[in-house]
Structure 1
Amino acid sequence: MRKSIASYLILTVTICILLFMSFSTSETIDLSKYSTSGLELNYTVSQDHSVKDNAIASIDLNKPISPILGKSFVGFKEALAFKESRGDYFTVNTLGYLGKYQFGVNTLKLIGIHNPKLFLNEPELQEKAFIANTARNKWILRRDIKNFVGKKLNGILITESGILAAAHLAGAGSVKNYLRSYGIDNFEDSYGTTIEYYMKRFSGYDTSLIKADRKAKAI
């Protein structure tokens, strides 16, 4: 009985203390002390008057937003990857071509990759493979790049990026045949995509970052 009374008293005292503390700290804050009136305000980002008021409201939030890569090298490789696989590192097509850039097993061997399973599960290795293969193709086609860039074949302006994209599609040898036949020998892959189509679609990108390398390896 005594324990019950003691517990009740302790609980009552505790509640009273908490109520006292809550009322004693409820002072009014004078917000006028924090006014910015009369201050010169500086911003790290200037106002862009060229942006319309409804620009943000017009954005479709259901669509993915990606940076504008333009005609940069990154723009080149990402555009090519989207055409090849929609940018999927882990896909294999019906003919057995692998990954984001759709490499064949024989091409991988040429750049030092002998384990297709490892390749398919390593995005970083796939990026290295694309760089190495493009550098190797640039070396093989160095004379053709020098002789044909800036000319037109079948109404298509020949550019270095178009040549390198076509070599990724069909191999450097097929691109040589196309150029040296002045557009007559137009290779077509199993899905009906031609060298000429890649020449046109991937024209005008900056591929100067890639240095021609006969012995380029991904590993």
Structure 2
Amino acid sequence: MESGGDYQIVNSLNYLGAYQFGEAALTDLGFVHYDGNAYDNNYSGGWTGKHGVRSASDFLRSRDAQDKAAFEWVDLLWSYAEIHNIDHFAWTEVGGSELTPSGMIAAMHLLGPGALAQYIASNGTADLRDPYGTPIVTYITTLADYEMPFAPVRPSS
């Protein structure tokens, strides 16, 4: 959504590639070694070599590594939803918007599972935004209609 599909883009906060991965996500995925602060996006712990990626430049040049990271990340994010006990909110309405699995994944990717849990607990009244000011509900609704093969099936009406 933010990269325009550009695999080589780096934003002003040093998020990388087509899926705008930060250091914390890349650490969780095993691409980057933890350096004591996974949220500063300086990648100073070094790269692990996963999928042949040994630097930010390698990551940006590899569509394959970025796509593999994205698939792994979606599964990992859903496991975080389960850990935070918010997975069962899939297909429910919160704050006037339906929480689809893909919308939930989008919200967690941009703001984390804790933020999504906070949004749900507030019944959609918490004004949670990314560093550029985009509200969490924008991600929930804009990316709501993608199939997530691991996610719970929509209940029949």
The interval holding the TM-score normalised by the smaller chain is 0.7 to 0.9
CA distance in 1, matches of 2:102, 2:6: 22
Matched-pair contact (CA < 8 Å) for 1:165–1:198: yes
What are the Cα deviations for residues 172-211 of structure 1, in whole angstroms up to 9, with x where unaligned?
Answer: 2211111122212232012111211111111132102579
Higher RCO (CA < 8 A, seq sep 6+):
1
- Counterpart mapping for 1:9-158 below 5 A: 83-114=1-32, 115=47, 116-142=56-82, 143-146=85-88, 148-158=89-99
What are the Cα deviations for residues 95-152 of structure 1, in whole angstroms up to 9, with x where unaligned?
Answer: 1110001111222111111232321121111011111111111011023121x12221
Q: TM-score, normalised by structure 1?
A: 0.55
CA distance in 2, matches of 1:159, 1:210: 9
Matched-pair contact (CA < 8 Å) for 2:101–2:151: no
Shift of 1:86: 0.6
CA distance in 1, matches of 2:151, 2:141: 20
CA RMSD in angstroms comes to 1.8
CA distance in 2, matches of 1:209, 1:130: 14
Identity among equivalent pairs (%): 34
Question: What is the match of residue 10 of structure 1?
Answer: none
> Aligned AA for 2:102?
S
What are the Cα deviations for residues 67-108 of structure 1, in whole angstroms up to 9, with x where unaligned?
Answer: xxxxxxxxxxxxxxxx12010000101111100011112221
CA distance in 1, matches of 2:117, 2:140: 13
Matched-pair contact (CA < 8 Å) for 1:131–1:210: no
**CA gap 1:138/1:198 in 2 versus in 1, 3 angstroms:** same
- The reply on whether 1:192 has 2:133 as its aligned counterpart is yes
Matched-pair contact (CA < 8 Å) for 1:161–1:205: yes
> Where do 5+ consecutive residues of structure 2 fail to align?
33-46, 48-55, 153-157
Matched-pair contact (CA < 8 Å) for 1:159–1:204: yes
How many correspondences in the alignment? 128
Q: TM-score, normalised by structure 2?
A: 0.75
